[in-house]
Amino acid sequence: MNTCPKLPLLQLSLRALIIPFALLLSSSLAPAVTFTWNTDNNGVWNNPFNWTPFGVPNDAVDAAVLGGVITGPRTVSLASNATVGSLTFNNSNTFTLDNSTSTSEHLTLGGPFSGDAFLRVLDGNHVIEAPLVLAADTQVNINESSLLEVDVTSTSLNGPTLTKLGGGDLRIHQVLNLNSGTLLGKKGTISGTGEVFGNIDNSSATIAPGDDGEGTFLLHGDYAQGDQGRLEVELGGAGSLDYDRFTINGSASLDGDVRVLLSPGFTPSAGDQFTVMTYGSKSGAFDDILLPSLSSGLKLDAIVESTQLQIRAGKIVNWTGGGGVKLWNAPGNWQFGEVPDDDFAVIDGAGTTTIVGSQLAPILGLQLTGGRHLSIQSLTGAGMLDVAGTVSLDPTASLSIAGSISHLKASTVKNQGGVLIDFGASLSASHKYLQTGGSTTLDGVLSADLVQIDAGTISGAGTVDGSLAVGTASTTAKLLPGNGLGTFNVDNDLTLGPNAELFIEIDASGSAVVADQLVVGGTVTLGGTLNLDLVAGSTIPFSNPVQILQADNLGGNSRFDDITGLATPEGSLIVTFLPGGSGSYTTISLHLSQELGDMNGDGDVDTDDATMFAWAIRDADTYYDMFILGGGGADDKMADMDFDTELTFADIPLFLAAVELSGGAVAAATSAITSVLNAQTVPEPNTMLLALVGLSACSVHRRERQLADGW
């Protein structure tokens, strides 16, 4: 029995599917029309006489312009639902879009097939009080010095991305519900006292809670601030409603900066506290927190903790105890005869002060300046100093945390001088450790979400309990593992930026191989320069390489920008990237090639070396990029078979002779060399010459392979 539908029935079935789909597409197929408001009066959106051309903007491809015709503030009201793909405000007088004639009506931006929707303010300050429905990803572009105030509940359909562009201000009141979508801040300001349901990715805009006064901005989702992003808060009083707050119910990924402003006429008093930002959890760290200066011997400081950012005001108390071994808790060592307690301590002047004491009273901040060296220790046990806010060292100051289990605790440490964390001692910064000059010698434990070395050096055989970034700024920063030779540990991620220099010393001159080593518990992102220093007389066989870096993962395709110190008197070091059990690269190791032509350092000159050898004599830059930075190749001097300090085609016969004498396949090696040399036009040799080279190689006697003196 034939069970297939008859043709008319099949046609009806297809028509039943096609017609609704065609209706769904109808708006995207309609011609786009730009409608411009044409009356200098309050009016109704849905009245076709109010628009030029005659009609009503009500399609996902239509554009509506509320522009230059009005001479004073005007209100445009929705009498029924409307849809546009683009809405533009362009007048120095204020347009207010509301739904006062029918409070259930709303304006939809975009449609499922219309592409991005657009909300633009070219001039003036304008208000939307009619409910908005975002049916597509929407770009909000507000020109510099202009404002768009969204003072109504706005809801998205499909969790879109709402992108803030332009230098002006998007002010959000009531609720913006993105249904798990994202508000992306690209430029300008996002302000208000409203609530956002979704996530905020503030890559390069300013989040400013409040509007014309102080207020709270609430995010029901996660917040990420990029390195060009900013949080700006204003302090108008110490009461909970007198300063701006940014409340995040999800996680916060911190970067960029925070700017704190004072309302006109307000000066904080000692002990005032302002919790300007809260979050469920945090990662990362702000680049900077910009605080206003205070008069009358007061200072503001920032405390970044696991769930909040707090600004506090404290009194400045100067150290008057001079140098030598002194008790922190002795009132006579301090200005006013008062031991700092939730105050900002300043220790100034040249000389060394050794502060002893156990479980010292917490202070707000600590500044070392004027050439002062401060040593925190105890005569009988641990020396401890608890700083709620920032510890800062000027370029002439230094700090040592000495003795077993001595400890310094702070929110942020800013080092331009010298910091020593001794064996058994520790320094913890709940926010970040930032070095913009000077040095850090780490033989104990340095705990911080982020240790950022922008300049100077960090060295030692200690541990960073957190993530470490070296050389990511515009100045050179150096990482020297080991105290002599030793291991430097990073518990989380390590980033070596373009201006990082990593120094590794290797001593394989004796029976054991000893080398500096980095051990990283997270991901390593490589960059900058790897500087290698091999002690004379060292031998590192291919079968027993030495590890210089061990990580959970070598991130992506990252690699060093430069490697120095490969060529040695014994031959050439070879840097190799090795995969771990998961298949990703986890280890960087070194071994030594000691025979000319042994480009991979496996102890033999054979066919496996031929491709690298050919690249070395054909194009040193390409060879360096592929086999030095990419790993696995010796310094190109190992291809100089005739010791003339030049890489030429005259080295080819000697290389092939070495391959033959090691038992390798000369024909295969010749083919590999020919393939590389013929990959682009070169002046020599041609194919015939290469054939002659291959034949002549069979008659070349083995010559002694040794390296020129001075290598």
Rounded to the nearest integer, the mean pLDDT of the chain is 88
Distance CA 663, CA 604 (A): 9
CA-to-CA dists, residue 640 to 594, 673, 711, angstroms: 13, 15, 12
Burial of 238 (0-12, 13-18, 19+ CB in 10 A): middle
Structure tokens at 235: 């302090």
Residue 551 has pLDDT above 50, yes or no: yes
- Kindly indicate the confidence band of residue 2, based on its pLDDT and cuts at 50, 70 and 90: very low
The 10s digit of each residue's pLDDT in 422-445 is 998 999 999 999 999 999 999 999
Least confident of 42-46, 74-78, 225-229, 569-573: 569-573
In this prediction, residue 54 has a pLDDT band, given cuts at 50, 70 and 90, of very high
Question: What is the pLDDT, as a whole number, of residue 616?
Answer: 97
- Supply the pLDDT for residue 609: 97
- The pTM assigned to this predicted structure is 0.84
Contact yes or no for 356/379 (Cβ under 8 A): yes
Residues 6+ apart with CB under 8 A from 640: 596, 646, 647, 651
Residues 6+ apart with CB under 8 A from 604: 598, 662, 664
Can you tell me the distance from the alpha carbon of 209 to that of 3, in angstroms, rounded to the nearest whole number? 68
Q: Which of 99-113, 632-646, 649-663 has the lowest mean pLDDT?
A: 99-113
Q: What is the mean pLDDT of residues 230-258?
A: 96
Cβ atoms of residues 131 and 109 within 8 Å: no
* CA nearest to 437, candidates 418, 412, 459, 422: 418
Higher-confidence position of 613 and 542: 613
What is the C-alpha to C-alpha distance for residues 499 and 455, in angstroms, rounded to an integer?
9
**Residue 354: band (very low, low, confident or very high) from pLDDT cuts 50, 70, 90:** confident
Does residue 435 contact residue 418 with C-beta atoms inside 8 Å?
Answer: no
Average pLDDT of span 189-208: 97
Average pLDDT on 304-332 reads 91
SS3 content of the chain, % helix, strand, coil (to 5): 15, 45, 40
pLDDT classification of 558: cutoffs 50, 70, 90? confident
CB 432 within 8 A of CB 285: yes
With cut-offs at 50, 70 and 90, classify the pLDDT of residue 586: confident
Residue 312 has pLDDT above 60, yes or no: yes
User: What is the residue-wise DSSP string for 631-695?
Assistant: SS---GGGG-TTSSSS--TTHHHHHHHHHHHTT--HHHHHHHHHHHHTTS--SS--HHHHHHHHH
pLDDT at res. 371: 86
Beta-strand relationship, 195-202 and 216-220: parallel
**pLDDT at residue 217 in the model:** 98
**What is the rounded distance in angstroms from the CA atom of residue 675 to the CA atom of residue 110?**
57
pLDDT band at 361 (very low <50, low <70, confident <90, very high): low
pLDDT at 170 over 80: yes
Query: Is 28 within 8 Å of 61 (Cβ atoms)?
Result: yes
How does pLDDT run across 694-707, given as a tens digit for each residue?
Answer: 444 443 333 333 33
Of the candidates 615, 630, 628, which has an alpha carbon nearest to the alpha carbon of residue 680?
A: 615
pLDDT of res. 252: 98
CA distance 633 to 624: 8
Q: Backbone phi, then psi, for 399, in 5-degree steps?
A: -140, 135
